[in-house]
Amino acid sequence: MLTPFANQGQQQQPSGSAVTVQQKAMYFMGRPVGVSLRNGQGASGILCNVNNGQLYLLQYLYQTQFATFHYPLSEVSDVIPYPACG
């Protein structure tokens, strides 16, 4: 169960030391997110699924092409929702 929420502008997200990256990711499924990786890189897209220790992210490639990339949760340091426009 996700417990307390930190109010960040108009977006709410799970917070606190007891919330894992997996719990956070599950909360944001179906939404646009940024993913911080432990190696210092990042990715963004629609969070499609969290399953078998993997995070599945639909990312834009170019023109009309999209692809689903998967990232091991052990390599993910954080999942952040996109902020509201305006």
Q: What is the CATH number of the domain that holds 56?
A: 2.30.30.100
Tell me whether residue 53 is in a domain.
yes
What global pTM score does this model have? 0.77
Q: Which domain holds residue 45?
A: 30-86
Strand 11-14 and strand 5-8: pairing? antiparallel
pLDDT tens figures, 9-68: 444 556 666 789 999 999 999 999 999 999 999 999 999 999 999 999 999 999 999 999
What is the average pLDDT across 68-72? 97
What's the rounded Cα separation, in Å, for the pair 25 and 73?
Answer: 10
- Which two structure tokens, joined as six digits, stand for 83? 């902020």
- Number of folded domains that form the chain: 1
Side-chain-side CA neighbours of residue 75 (13 Å):
12
